[in-house]
């Protein structure tokens, strides 16, 4: 089986946030002329309220390992790392080692916090023990661990590759539904389903006035009920909020506290931008012009995806709920 062609045929996307076509990334690493290549399964899962990778590792670890084995077969001269957050390492490390027996797969603990899941940060952490992002380009597929071509894919992506290899893939993916939903948890549904369809199929479409955060429990964008006829991107997390019971300032302060705690302080736009956003929210003086400027700088000049995307929940919540003061 040519697993890379099968990834393309089934339109498998990365599930750690970027949604980049898996077959293109795998093919790029395969095509590189190098005597040593690395494969990394990203099991760091640091996004709040999202735990689909934990669910997969608990229920279907054999498919994830099979997916890594397929990558090792497809990419010559390769060695694999299974990179897990510390609590996942404690819970699943022994089982994964048993499933990986006889293959060149090293099970390793995550170094660092939320940023440890970003692909260049993973490479830096494995190589040096320091969980800080690198400037891109070059991308890990070109120059990753020890300067070698490195494939970094999410747990769910390898799960899909394993299902495909065994002829069992049915075009589904996993979604975490949290917050004020009636039935919280991890669910399987079509990878092409809209947010509304997912909520309906899982009996989670609220009857009260609500909004959702789609894509992540911190990074995700805010969507109103009329905006749910779209597919969810990235990690597939849907958080439901009761509009009448949610204090938007308190919610934004929670996001800001998370980003302040989890950014690496390496680049000024992210470090100072998030600090200023937190300061403005704490004073409850939401000046649209100042916030727009901060959001623009974060998105355009931050070093890594945390800074480039941290503005999104604030911007969409403020816009959708009309929170800016009138000028």
pLDDT tops 80 at residue 19: no
Same domain, 35 and 97: yes
Contacts of 1 (CB under 8 A, 6+ apart): 70, 165
Residue 14 pLDDT > 50, yes or no? yes
Tokens of 213: 């955060």
Asked if the model's pLDDT at residue 299 lies above 80, the reply is yes
pLDDT band at residue 283, thresholds of 50, 70 and 90? confident
Average pLDDT value for residue range 130-147:
91
Task: Output the pTM of the full model.
Answer: 0.93
Q: How far apart are CA 64 and CA 155, in angstroms?
A: 6
Counting the structural domains of the chain, the total is 3
- Confidence (pLDDT) at 75: 96
Report whether pLDDT(130) > 90.
Answer: no
Answer with the one of 242, 257, 283 that is the final residue of a domain.
Answer: 242
Q: Round to whole Å and give the CA distance between 93 and 300.
A: 38
Bigger pLDDT: 250 vs 118: 250
* Residue 102 lies inside a defined structural domain of this protein: yes
Same domain, 7 and 121: yes
- What's the confidence (pLDDT) of residue 325? 59
- In percent, the amount of the chain with pLDDT more than 90 equals 74
Domain membership flag for residue 327: no
Compute the half-sphere exposure of residue 294: CA atoms within 13 Å on the CB side of its CA: 23
Kindly report the average pLDDT of the chain as a whole number: 92
Query: What does the pLDDT average to over 285-307?
Result: 89
User: Do 197 and 161 share a domain, yes or no?
Assistant: no
The reported pLDDT for the residue numbered 156 is 95
Would residue 326 count as lying in a domain? no
- 236 and 160 in a common domain: no
Flag whether 12 is in a domain. Answer: yes
CATH of the domain at 296: 1.20.1440.230
147 shares its domain with 276: no
pLDDT tier at 17 (50, 70, 90 boundaries)?
low
CATH number for position 26: 3.40.50.11540
Residue 298 reports pLDDT greater than 50: yes
pLDDT over threshold 70, residue 104? yes
Q: Span 153-158, mean pLDDT?
A: 95
pLDDT for the residue numbered 266: 82
φ, ψ of residue 117 in degrees (nearest 5): -90, -10
pLDDT band of 97, cuts 50, 70, 90: very high
Number of neighbouring beta carbons within 10 Å of residue 136: 14
Buried b / exposed e along 227-264 (16+ C-beta atoms within 10 A):
bbeeebbbbbbbbbbeeeebebeebbeebbebbeebbb
284 versus 89: the higher-pLDDT residue is: 89
- Residue 272 is part of which domain span? 248-321
Final residue belonging to a domain, choices 137, 165, 193:
165
Shared domain for 286 and 236, answered yes or no, is no
pLDDT-based confidence at residue 169 (cuts at 50, 70, 90): very high
Same domain membership, residue 310 and residue 271:
yes
pLDDT exceeds cutoff 60 at 126 = yes
**Residues 21-76: tens digit of each pLDDT:** 999 999 999 999 999 999 999 999 988 999 999 999 999 999 999 999 999 999 99
Q: What is the number of helices (H) and of strands (E) in the chain?
A: 13, 9
Nearest to 259 by CA among 295, 211, 300: 295
Q: Residue 107 pLDDT more than 60?
A: yes
The whole-number pLDDT of residue 327 equals 43
Shared domain check, 262 and 224: no
């Amino acid at each position: 089986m040519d697993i890379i062609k099968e990834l393309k045929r089934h339109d498998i996307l990365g599930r750690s946030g970027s949604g980049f076509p898996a077959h293109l990334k795998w093919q790029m690493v395969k095509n590189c002329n190098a005597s040593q290549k690395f494969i990394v399964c990203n099991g760091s899962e640091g996004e709040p309220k999202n735990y689909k990778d934990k669910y997969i590792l608990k229920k279907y670890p054999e498919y994830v390992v099979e997916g890594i084995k397929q990558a090792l077969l497809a990419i010559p001269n390769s060695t694999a790392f299974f990179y897990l957050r510390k609590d996942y390492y404690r819970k699943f490390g022994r089982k994964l080692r048993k499933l990986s027996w006889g293959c060149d797969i090293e099970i390793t603990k995550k170094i660092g916090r939320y940023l440890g899941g970003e692909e260049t940060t993973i490479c830096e952490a494995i190589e040096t023990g320091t969980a800080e992002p690198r400037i891109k380009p070059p991308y890990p597929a070109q120059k990753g661990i020890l300067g070698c071509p490195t494939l970094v894919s999410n747990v769910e992506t390898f799960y899909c590759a394993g299902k495909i290899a065994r002829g069992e893939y049915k075009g589904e993916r996993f979604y975490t539904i949290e917050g004020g939903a009636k039935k919280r948890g991890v669910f399987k549904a079509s990878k092409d389903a809209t947010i509304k369809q997912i909520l309906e199929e899982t009996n989670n479409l609220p009857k009260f006035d609500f909004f959702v955060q789609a894509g992540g429990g911190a990074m995700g964008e805010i969507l109103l009920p009329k905006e749910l006829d779209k597919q969810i991107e990235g990690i597939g997390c849907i958080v439901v909020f009761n509009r009448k019971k949610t204090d938007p300032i308190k919610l934004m302060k929670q996001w800001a506290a998370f980003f302040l705690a989890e950014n690496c302080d390496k680049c000024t736009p992210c470090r100072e931008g998030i600090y200023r956003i937190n300061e403005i929210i704490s004073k409850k003086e939401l000046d649209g012009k100042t916030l727009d400027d901060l959001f623009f700088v974060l998105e355009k000049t931050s070093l890594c995806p945390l800074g480039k995307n941290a503005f999104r929940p604030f911007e969409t919540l403020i816009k959708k709920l009309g929170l800016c003061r009138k000028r």
